[in-house]
Every structure is written in C-alpha cells, then in structure tokens.
Amino acid sequence: MEKEPYIIKTRPANASDLDAILALDSALFRFDHAFDPSLDLDWTHSPLGSGFYLDRILSSGVVLLAEDENLNILGFITGGEADYPAHRIPTRMAELDTFFVHPHARGRSVGHLLFDAFLNWCDHEGYGKISVRVSAGNSTAIQFYHKHAFSDYDLILERPVRADSEG
C-alpha cells in the first residue's frame, strides 16, 4: 500500500515544543538501545536531558522540527557547536546531536528535509564542517549519513577493564 503524501514543513522549535521533543527523544533512545545497551533510558526526562534540549532551543544551538499539514510533529534534529580536536587543523564545526523521524513518517523524505534544514542552519551560522556520532550497529543511519556526504574519520573502540566483566 502506497503511503499518502504529506505536506511537510520544517521550523525551529520553541520552549512550548519541549514535551513533544522529549517524547520523540525517548522513542529514539528506545530504538538506539538495541545498538547501545549502555544508553540510559531515563536520561531524556531527567533534569540533564530536558535541560540539554531546552538549552539547545533557547541559546546554544538549534532544534528543528518537521510537521505535517495538521501540525503533527514527525521528527526532529538538533545540533550546535562541536569541540574541534586540538590536533586537527582548526575549522568551525557543528555537531549533529540527535536526529529522529517517527516510524510512521519514514520513507516520505522527512529525514532529508530535516537534514537539509540543519545544513542551511549550519551554513547560516558559519560552520565549515558537521560531525555526527552513530552507534556502530546502526547501519541504516550510517548509510543515510554516507549518502549525505559524511565520511568516516575516527573509530572509537571500548572494552571493559576486565575482559570477563561488562564494566
């Protein structure tokens, strides 16, 4: 069955959108938990989690939303200034923090529209590069980022101190 077309618009979030953003972020955490069981599923609704998003909305970055014609929020993307590694040639870099499209809205270019809106924001703010961290097992997200001209430049590995524990 073909999906009905959406009229989709993107817009910056405001403080009144916080509850909807936290609900989407909780869904993202539950989804990503399959790839990274160390994720704290309670973080989103903690003071740190809600404070992070409120700060992104009000002062230190951006939260962009995608809405349908009925103003239902279909997804969101957040980002801000990244800490650029001191051992690299300096450039102003943005970090894409979180990116989620509601499962019922996937396959309708919502993610592409959100990403394009984020690129426009980064360009407007004068960033030269964008970085993103992705769980290694999330091949769908990795393919999306590669399709949008991201390239691998670091590989972060971890292990427990004691090989027989989960540490």
Indicate whether 166 belongs to any domain.
no
Tokens standing for residue 140:
């769908």
Q: In one letter, which amino acid is 51?
A: G
DSSP 119: H
Q: Is the pLDDT of residue 146 over 70?
A: yes
In a domain, 104, yes or no: yes
Element (H, E) at 22: helix 18-32
* Coil, helix or strand at residue 2: coil
* Number of domains making up the chain: 1
Hunting for tokens 């993103």 — which residue is that? 132
At residue 156 the predicted structure's pLDDT band, cuts being 50, 70 and 90, is: confident
pLDDT at residue 114 in the model: 98
pLDDT tens by residue, 48-93: 999 999 999 999 999 999 999 999 999 999 999 998 888 888 889 9
Look up the pTM and report it: 0.89
Q: Is 65 a domain residue?
A: yes
Per-residue DSSP letters for 5-57? P---EEEE--GGGHHHHHHHHHHHHHHHTTT-TTS-TTSTTSHHHHHHHHHHH
pLDDT of residue 158: 87
pLDDT in tens, 20-30: 999 999 999 99
pLDDT for the residue numbered 166 = 62
Q: Is residue 164 part of a domain?
A: no
Please say whether the beta carbons of 61 and 82 come within 8 A. no
Q: Output 27 or 7, whichever has higher pLDDT.
A: 27
* 159 in any annotated domain: no
Grouping H, G, I as helix, E, B as strand and the rest as coil, residue 32 is helix
The Cα–Cα gap between 64 and 38 comes to 27
162: in domain: no
Domain housing 135: 9-147
Question: How many other CB atoms are there within 10 angstroms of residue 12's CB atom?
Answer: 12
pLDDT at residue 5 in the model: 59
Closest listed residue to residue 100, CA positions, set 46, 3, 23, 153: 23
103 neighbors 68 (Cβ within 8 angstroms)? no
- The answer as to whether 78 is a domain residue is yes
The pLDDT of residue 41 is 97
pLDDT at 167 over 80: no
Residue 7 pLDDT: 80
**Taking a C-beta distance cutoff of 8 angstroms, is the pair 9, 66 a contact?**
yes
127, pLDDT greater than 90: yes
Residue 1 has pLDDT above 70, yes or no: no
CATH of residue 37's domain is 3.40.630.30
